[in-house]
């Protein structure tokens, strides 16, 4: 008799309704849903729009009421009067914001070597008398494929070509580059960079005055 009593007790407990556990479970689920699914996203959205509206909306740049691009995503410039950005390996088009990626080609891959050689040839063809060494960021794609910046050295390499194409002095173009060179945060985080889109827009605005 004693041996079977625990079995009967277990069967009785399993047969009891789960209602004592249902209410706290539903309450906890509802509270967490409201907090994490509604209140927190709403708070962060309102705060972002109030304090960082430009960044929260994509750091977009408009000119004469038309969208020119974003400070965060590079663009393809190939005309000699514009500074060129880093190459992009995104598919199916360069700087595709919906398909951020690198080429994933190793340093010994012949496809990468051919791509770099073609980029070097294009740079030299656009400015055949340029004696400066070609900075690596003008021939190597970034990991994201969307990098909107180039190094100051990459900008300096292109100053003479842009000045000739725009009939401006080298010093004028150099001054615009300097004005659009962003220094590292707190003077120690990162490297100086130049935003290609804002630089090209500034040059256009300067000539259109």
Whole-model pTM over 0.85: no
pLDDT digits (tens, 9 = 90+) for 9-62: 555 455 555 567 788 888 889 999 999 989 899 888 888 887 776 777 777 788
pLDDT digits (tens, 9 = 90+) for 48-102: 887 776 777 777 788 877 888 888 898 999 999 999 999 998 888 889 888 888 8
Ranges of each domain in the chain: 5-53, 59-208
What is the predicted pLDDT for the residue at 1?
Answer: 47
Of 160, 128, 148, 133, which Cα lies nearest the Cα of 193?
A: 148
């Amino acid at each position: 008799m004693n041996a079977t009593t625990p079995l009967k007790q277990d069967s009785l407990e399993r047969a009891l309704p789960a209602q004592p556990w249902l209410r706290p479970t539903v309450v906890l689920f509802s509270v967490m849903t409201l907090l994490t699914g509604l209140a927190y996203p709403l708070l962060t959205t309102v705060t972002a729009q109030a304090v960082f509206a430009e960044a929260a909306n994509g750091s977009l740049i408009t000119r004469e009421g038309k969208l020119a691009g974003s400070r965060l995503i590079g663009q393809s410039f190939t005309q000699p009067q514009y500074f060129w950005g880093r190459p992009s390996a995104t598919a199916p088009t360069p700087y595709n914001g919906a398909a951020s990626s690198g080429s994933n080609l190793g340093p010994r891959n012949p496809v990468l070597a051919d791509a770099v050689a073609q980029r070097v040839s294009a740079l030299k063809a656009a400015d055949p008398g340029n004696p400066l060494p070609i900075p690596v960021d003008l021939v190597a794609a970034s990991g994201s494929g969307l990098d909107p910046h180039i190094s100051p050295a990459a900008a300096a390499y292109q100053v003479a070509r842009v000045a000739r194409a725009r009939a401006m002095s080298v010093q004028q173009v150099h001054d615009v580059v300097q004005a659009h060179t962003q220094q590292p945060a707190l003077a120690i985080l990162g490297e100086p960079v130049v935003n290609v889109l804002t630089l090209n827009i500034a040059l256009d605005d300067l000539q259109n005055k």
